[in-house]
Amino acid sequence: MKKLSIAILGAIVAWLVLSFIVKDFESIPIFTLIIGSVLGYSIGKKEGAKTN
Given pLDDT bands bounded at 50, 70 and 90, which one contains residue 24?
A: confident
DSSP secondary structure, the chain, as one string: -HHHHHHHHHHHHHHHHHHHHHT----HHHHHHHHHHHHHHHHHHHHHHHH-
In contact, 4 and 38? CB cutoff 8 Å = yes
| pTM for the whole structure | 0.67
Given pLDDT bands bounded at 50, 70 and 90, which one contains residue 52?
A: low
Average pLDDT across the chain, whole number: 84
The single-letter code of the amino acid at 17 is V
Q: Which residues contact 12 (CB under 8 A, 6 or more apart)?
A: 30, 34
